Amino acid sequence: MNAPRRPWVVGVSGASGTPYAAAVLRALLDAGQPVDLVVSRAARLTILDETGHPFRDGHWRVDLAAWLGRPLGAGDDVLHWPAGDLAAGPSSGSYPARGMVVVPASTAACAGIAIGLSKDLLQRAAEVNLKERRRVVVVPRETPVTRSHLEHLIALHDALGVAHDLFRRWAGELGAARAAAEPGSRGGQPG
């Protein structure tokens, strides 16, 4: 019997920084993690502006592959939910999501998530994941920030906890990365 699908919900808001969203999506897919993607209306404009690639509901697989700069293979478990679909799976607490990352997160998205506004599926899914005590990570992009934005960000803090090899973790030893890169060293992550 197959285990039930438990995806990470990735929400992309309209803030600048869509390359960060692409990097998170590639890392999750490369790690073999299932992903449910929600791209806000404003994010579609930002993706087009920053990358030249459209993101359309009817052609989302082709558009996502172009945005990520790699084809989506048979092993890439990714679904797309339109931001206006408030009846979509991720809008319900019974939907078996692992958690959510909003990247980039605009100040409006952060505020909407923090106060439970649920103006679209991105905000609703984040609110549901918070309600269900699942991890929700927001990657804010605008600076400088106002006092109210800081208050919203304080309400939204966590980490996904997905294993990756995107960077070498601190091992408590200065020069460890340099020593690992030298010829004859074992290299790689400490065991």
Q: Is residue 189 assigned to a domain?
A: no
Q: Give me the pLDDT at residue 161, please.
A: 66
The reply to whether 36 falls in a domain is yes
In a domain, 39, yes or no: yes
Residue 40 covered by a domain:
yes
What residue has token string 């592959």? 65
User: pLDDT tens, 66-99?
Assistant: 999 999 999 999 999 999 999 999 999 999 999 9
Question: Within its chain, how far is the Cα of 72 from the centroid?
Answer: 17
Counting the structural domains of the chain, the total is 1
Q: Which CATH number fits the domain that encloses residue 22?
A: 3.40.50.1950
Contacts of 94 (CB under 8 A, 6+ apart): none
Q: Domain containing 127: what range?
A: 8-181
User: Cα separation of 115 and 112, whole Å?
Assistant: 5
Q: Is residue 188 part of a domain?
A: no
List pLDDT tens digits, range 11-51.
999 999 999 999 999 999 999 999 999 999 999 999 999 99
pTM: 0.82
In-domain check, residue 83: yes
Contact 138, 99 (CB under 8 A): no
**Alpha carbons 161 and 164: distance in angstroms, whole number:** 9
In a domain, 1, yes or no: no
Has residue 3 been placed in a domain? Answer: no
* DSSP designation for 134: -
